[in-house]
Every structure is written in structure tokens, then in C-alpha cells.
Structure 1
């Protein structure tokens, strides 16, 4: 069976069509055109604002004209990440999907269920003629994954709804009423180099097989960060060997826990055996520490072409110590909401190449003051070594409203539909609701969605039965939207 033949077909057909289009953040031209053409094909009012967000408006079905207008919102872009052994070209190829039991997965890449399932759901409702609903304003934002540019530069005059349903939550029993804000901390440092002796040896070190994942939703799970592990490896090696480093390339995306890191190291021929012995011992140590969390962890070293230059020893020491000092992972748990991460940091990218030492990290918090605190902690580690530190992509969190009308309605509908209580929570991921709420004051908002695992990694998958549950629930919610006050 193909993915587009799954039920509900109205959703999966659209998801297959969407996933045929490359749609990386900041490269959304094709998917924007796809959505505009989709709206026009239905004969619906379709608006593209100046930044690229698309709004498609559909009138209420007969008998529901007096209900409140609902904004259904999802983002068009997806995280493009693949395994290192994959030859997949995100710029030209559509996602290669397959069914695995009760899950839909991609072959060696991210699936795009985040947030493609939300987009496809809204498309299915817009195209349907047999679904009762109030007036709908479908809002498709751009660039959510790399800065929430679409939400930040939204033209609010295109929207009049009073309820916003964000379809970007990843556990089907959760109703999310708050989220973390975030800020990127970026650094650069120009380091001194020195020439390599012609009779030295070079090896490419690699750390692979980590789970990675979403740097918000998965940050509390204790997963290894490939950048921090590589730094620890180099630090420990320098305690026993006169190791030199020519290059480092670790991580990929700003909002993903790094799965892989590579480094080119140089050593004297006389130290080759000692280096291999150290590496074997280090791997045993790390694998023992992470045995229950990172079963796929692998550390390898293969001979490499000898580079012409390496990082000067005093510069390398500063880099390694700065990264070692860096806070990474959970910074503070919320004292007010049980089991909620309040503040965290993720060292997403480390590059050492040709005289430039570059890092990228993302700090998140549901409290603005602690977001600043963790960002300052990260910046301080790099400023001490002389890095130029800059910040970008600052966006606010979404303060929970436990007295929300839409929350009361959706809680009761979940309880009666599934004979269980929903999990009402705030999450540590960065949802667009905080930014959208600033544009649309007084908006009653909630976020929910089907079960998606491994978002932002090639392990991403969406549960088929959960999508069916989500679809059923959303249609009930739309049918029960209250009348205008």
C-alpha cells in the first residue's frame, strides 16, 4: 500500500503531494506557489503576504455561519536532515516515504511530518464538501524551523478569527497551551595556524549513530550531543598525546541535537599505536555511559590525507576549554509546572576550518529572564577566549492560559470521544503561538496534533492510527465551535 492510500485519504493524499516538493526553511518558493495554486484551484480567497505566508479563506458550511471564525495554522517548511551515507538531494527530490507497520517513515531522511501532517490536514478540510465547520482562515507560515520569520513578519490584517488551532504538537494525547521562546547564540573566532611536518600522520575521527532529535522536545532525554562528545574526545586525547587538530565539522541544524561530528587530527608516527589504544579505551568508556540511551553510538578513525596546517596549540586549548565549559542540555527545570524544562541550551554546530572557529547554539526558555541567563552563560564561555559573539532569531514564549474557552471545549470533547483525560501541558519546543499571539491580541489559542517521533532527525516517523485519531478529534472540535459573542 502507498502512503496516499491510507485513511483518512483526504489527509494522506495531500501529505504525499506536499512531500513531493522540496521545502527547506528559507527555500520555500516552490511550496508557497503550491499552496497558492491549491487555494485558487478550490475557488477560495487566497492571499500571499509580503514575507510569503499564505492565507486561504473558506466560508462556513450551511448552518454554521453564526460560529466564531477559526484560524487553522501550520508551517510550510520542514527540517532537511539526512544520514551521512545517504545520497539524497533535498533540493531536487521529494521525500521517499514507506509504511512500516503503524508508522510512516522516510528512507534515510527526515519525513516532514513536522509540520507537513498539519498542513495536509488543513488542505483536506479546505477541499472537503462533507465536513461541517465554521468560517476558516487557513494560515500557512514560512521559515518556522530557522527563525520563525513568517510568524514574526505576519500581516495580521489578513486575519479576523478569534480562535487559533495550531496543528504542530507531536503527542496525540496532549493539548498544549504554552511553549518556550528561543534565541540563537552564534560565535566566530579567527585562530592562528601552524604548518604540519611532512612525515606526520592524519586521521579522520567520526562520531556517528546518535539519536539526535528535536532540541526542545528531546533535550531532557539525556541523549548525547556529538559536538560535546567530540570535544571531550579531543580534550582527553591531549592529556596523553601531542595531538593536533586540522578541522572539525560537527552537527547540522540549529534546532537539532547533533547526531554526528568529524575531525581531522594529526600526530607523530611514533604515537600511532598509543592513539589507537586511547581511542579504543575512550570508545568503551563512552559506550558504557550511554549504553541504555545511545545503542548505535560509534567512534571511528580512518587514515586521511595530511593537511598543510593545524590549529596552533594554544588556540586549540582555548577552543576545547570553551566548549567543555559550555552549558548544554537542561539548564533549569520549571519550579511551577511539573516535568517541564524551563531553560536549556543545545550546541548545534561546531566548525574549525581554514583559520575560522565557528559555533551555533540555540537557547530556549518559557521564562524570558532565564532565557537571557542561559544565553549569557553560553556567550561568556566564548567571550572569555576572545570570540565575537552575536545573537539572532529572538522570539517570545507563549504564556499558558488555563482559563481558555477553547481549552475547556477541547478537554470535554477529548474526554467524551476517547474516554480518557487529555494531557494539558506547556512544552519546551518553540511554537509559533507566542509570536502569533503578539500580532493577534486576545486570540484564544491551543496546539495539538498526532504522534510524531524523532522530529528533526532521519528517524522521524508519524503514527498512522494516531493520525486517524487526530483527524476524528479535529472534525469534532470544528463541529462544536461556539457561536459568536
Structure 2
């Protein structure tokens, strides 16, 4: 079935249109241009601010001119991730989508439903001619996935709305009213390259793949394998048993993604290479048992490498492996007030070691500033030999369970579905945390359709859930006075 034949037809048409456009974080030029052209084609007031946020304003439908104005908000960028063996080029190709039963999926890449479905839904409201609504300001932000710099750049004079509906949640039976804050922690340093005798050593590339991966916030409690941790455990044992040396490590690209594959090149003495296959098989077997429930496809492979025979100096190798083994990863604390909600976590996301320099990064999240600072202090302690910097800290979003907007949304949901939705705060960064600080007068909620596997090539969005989400949005807009 064609994507554009699905209902609501307008949403899927717009989703297909934006998914044809490359829109990685910090590379949103094409999608910004597209959105500006879209707004102007409708004859609506359209503007772009200094960083690239697009604002399109649509007047209220007849008799609703004096109702509370609404900001509909979504982000234009998406996470670009693909299968390890894919040659897909995100810079030039559009997402290749297909229908699988009740789901829309992508071929070997992330789908971009986060937050493309939210953006397409707002576009459907803007282009509609028969949906009753109050005055609307459509806010399309940039760089949500990497730094939230779009939301951070907004000023209080850019929007006049009384209500903000963020369409960036991923479970259709929930309304979100709070989120964690967070910060990227970057680790940088230099090292001396030791040139080994090519007659005495053989280079091997070790590849870790088949991991489940996922979102570094909403999936962190699932205890999935992290490719950096898997590779570090593997290297530690190989160093211990075979006295190998590290040539390079390459894992991860984004801090909000649990890394699912990566590689390292190591040097092994010729007199120990015969022991290497059996040792690697033993390590793989142990790690497969450790992660058999969360990552059943975990695989560790090796092949001879033809790289130059340069390795880390021995002290840097010891420092990095020791620090990576100690570095906190996963859930640090759970909330006491909301059962099942992660309060504080850390995701080791990037490890790039090559050519006399290393760069690593993690993302620390918490709804408690003191716990976030505790984790970042641990990272600084373990990497005392490097330069550690906190980048792009963003605030959490304090829940307002007694807001009029939430009461209205709950009533609309019950009217349509016969029961109340769950009211939740999430362990992930939503732009509402930043926007609530810039626009304190606005009441805010976040909701959306069922999206599974966000930030991984398994990402998919449920067709029937998009229909449910669409009906709820229309009902809320109709009910605002």
C-alpha cells in the first residue's frame, strides 16, 4: 500500500514530503526552506528566526477569533541511524518507507517519525479548510535531537500563545506533563603514537554489531547492551590475556542514541595470534549470555586489518580502558514519587580514538540537578587525565498536574476513548523544559501516536495510533475556549 493512501490522508502526504528531504540535526537548511515555502503557499504569515526556527501563523476559524491562542510545536530534525551494512546516504537520499500491517517502517534506517509525524500533523492542521480551531502559531524548531539550540534561541516576543501542544511524545494512551533535564559531557585528549615492528605484530579489526540500541532516555531502563561497554569489556580481556595494543576505536555518533555497533583495531604479537580466535569466541559467548534477553543478536567478529602499525602509548591505553570500565552507564536512580520512572541516568555514547587524539561523549539526564552533577563529577574524576567539558545543558520540565489544559485534554481523551489517559513525566529531554522557562505563562502538554524503536533502524509508527492521535488533537482544538 502507498503511504499517501493511508488515513488521515493529509498527514501521510505531508510525512512523505518531508521524509524526502535530508534533515539531520545541524543540517536542516533544506527542510527549513521547504517549510517556509509551505507556509507561504498557504498564504499564511511565515517567518524564520536567526537560528532557523520556522513560525507559521494561521488565524482562527469563524467565531473562534477570541478563543485562547494555541502553539502547535514539533521539531524539524531527525536522528540519522542506519544498519551497519547499509550504504544509504542520508545527505542525498530520502527515507525509504513501506507499510507492514498496521505499521509504517523504513528500509534499513531510522524512519523519522520522531518528530516527522508531529510536524506532518501540524502541517495538516495548517492546510486544512474544514477543521475548527482557535488562533494557531505553528512552531517548527531545529536541532532538537542534538542540542535543543532551536528552542534555546527563542525569545519571549516570538510567540503570543496561551497554550502549547507539543506533538513529540510516543505513546498514544499517555499525556506527558514533565521531563528530565540533561547535559552532554565531552572528553578530549591527545596521546603519543607508538610505532610497532610489523614483523612482530599482526593487526586485527574487531567489530561489535547486532545490538538493539535505542533512545538514550526512554530506553535506558531496559538495560540494553551498549556497544562501547561491550567493546571495552572485550578489549580489557584481550589486553589481559594476549597483551594486545590498541590502534583505534570508533563507536557512536550521537549522544541521545544507545550505540548499537562499533569497532576497534588492535595489534597482537605474532606468537599469540594463534590464541586470538579462541579467546575472542570465549569473550563473545560470555557477553551473549550476559545480554541474551535484551540483545539476542549480539555478535563480535574479527578480520585482519591493513592499517599502519601505530598504537596508543601504553599509559594512555591503561587510562582509557580503566576510565571506560568505571564510567557510569545506565540507570543511576529511580524516582520515588512516580513508580517506574527513571530519575537519573548516563549514556556512554561516543568513543572515537585515532591518530593521536581521543574524543568521547556521554549524555547525563536527571530531574534532580544534584544527581546530574554527581554523575558528571564521576566522569571528570575517572578522566582526570583529559579535558572534560559540559556542553548544552538544558532544564527539566516541572509537571503541573492541576492545569486547566490537562483537565481539558483528559476530558477530550475520555470522550473519544471511554477512559482517561495515563499522565506521565518522562526520562527524556523535551523542548517543553526550555519553552516553559521562556514562556512561563503558557500551559503545556505533550502527546503523540505510538512510535517504537526511535533513534534506531527499527523505528516504526503505528497507523491506527496516528488516527487516534489525530482525533484527539482535533477534539482538543475544538474544545479550547
Q: Same fold (TM over 0.5)?
A: yes
Q: How many residues align?
A: 480
Counterpart Cα distance in 2 of 1:82 and 1:34: 24
SS at match of 1:77: coil
Q: Which residue of 2 aligns with 1:325?
A: 326
Q: Which residue of 1 aligns with 2:93?
A: 93
Asked if the contact 2:28–2:142 (Cα under 8 Å) also holds between the matched residues in 1, the reply is: yes
**In the TM superposition, what is the alpha-carbon distance from 1:306 to its structure 2 partner?**
4.6
Counterpart Cα distance in 1 of 2:129 and 2:195: 71
Q: Does 1:249 align with 2:250?
A: yes
Counterpart Cα distance in 1 of 2:297 and 2:104: 22
Counterpart Cα distance in 2 of 1:28 and 1:86: 23
Q: Which structure 1 residue ranges, 4+ long, deviate > 6 Å from structure 2?
A: none
**In the TM superposition, what is the alpha-carbon distance from 1:290 to its structure 2 partner?**
1.0
Asked if the contact 2:78–2:112 (Cα under 8 Å) also holds between the matched residues in 1, the reply is: yes
Asked if the contact 1:185–1:379 (Cα under 8 Å) also holds between the matched residues in 2, the reply is: no
Unaligned runs of 5+ in 2: none
Counterpart Cα distance in 2 of 1:3 and 1:418: 26
Counterpart Cα distance in 1 of 2:248 and 2:308: 9
Once the two structures are superposed, the pairs formed by residues 200-349 of structure 1 within 5 Å of their partners are: 200-349=201-350
Q: Does 1:184 align with 2:205?
A: no
Q: Which residue of 1 aligns with 2:42?
A: 42
SS at match of 1:240: helix
Counterpart Cα distance in 2 of 1:425 and 1:2: 35
Q: Which residue of 1 aligns with 2:465?
A: 466
Q: Which residue of 2 aligns with 1:19?
A: 19
Asked if the contact 2:25–2:145 (Cα under 8 Å) also holds between the matched residues in 1, the reply is: yes
Once the two structures are superposed, the pairs formed by residues 424-435 of structure 1 within 5 Å of their partners are: 424-435=423-434
Counterpart Cα distance in 1 of 2:74 and 2:16: 16
Q: Which residue of 2 aligns with 1:404?
A: 403
Unaligned runs of 5+ in 1: none
Alignment root-mean-square deviation, CA:
1.0
Q: Which residue of 2 aligns with 1:127?
A: 127
**In the TM superposition, what is the alpha-carbon distance from 1:314 to its structure 2 partner?**
2.3
**In the TM superposition, what is the alpha-carbon distance from 1:457 to its structure 2 partner?**
0.9
Once the two structures are superposed, the pairs formed by residues 141-220 of structure 1 within 5 Å of their partners are: 141-199=141-199, 200-220=201-221
Q: Which residue of 1 aligns with 2:65?
A: 65
Deviations 1:123-168, CA, capped at 9 Å, x for gaps: 0000000111111110000111110011000133121111000000
SS at match of 1:449: coil
**In the TM superposition, what is the alpha-carbon distance from 1:325 to its structure 2 partner?**
0.6
Asked if the contact 2:8–2:467 (Cα under 8 Å) also holds between the matched residues in 1, the reply is: yes
Deviations 1:195-214, CA, capped at 9 Å, x for gaps: 11212211110000111111
SS at match of 2:73: strand
Counterpart Cα distance in 1 of 2:198 and 2:12: 59
Asked if the contact 1:196–1:307 (Cα under 8 Å) also holds between the matched residues in 2, the reply is: no
**In the TM superposition, what is the alpha-carbon distance from 1:323 to its structure 2 partner?**
0.4
Q: Which residue of 1 aligns with 2:360?
A: 359
Deviations 1:17-39, CA, capped at 9 Å, x for gaps: 01011111111111111111111
Counterpart Cα distance in 2 of 1:2 and 1:279: 46
**In the TM superposition, what is the alpha-carbon distance from 1:308 to its structure 2 partner?**
2.3
Counterpart Cα distance in 2 of 1:306 and 1:430: 40
Deviations 1:281-314, CA, capped at 9 Å, x for gaps: 1111111111111011110011111522111222
Asked if the contact 1:342–1:366 (Cα under 8 Å) also holds between the matched residues in 2, the reply is: yes
SS at match of 1:37: helix
TM-score of the aligned structures, taking structure 2 as reference length: 0.98
Counterpart Cα distance in 2 of 1:209 and 1:418: 39
Q: Which residue of 2 aligns with 1:82?
A: 82
**In the TM superposition, what is the alpha-carbon distance from 1:381 to its structure 2 partner?**
1.2
Counterpart Cα distance in 2 of 1:66 and 1:347: 49
Q: Does 1:448 align with 2:420?
A: no
Asked if the contact 1:193–1:312 (Cα under 8 Å) also holds between the matched residues in 2, the reply is: yes
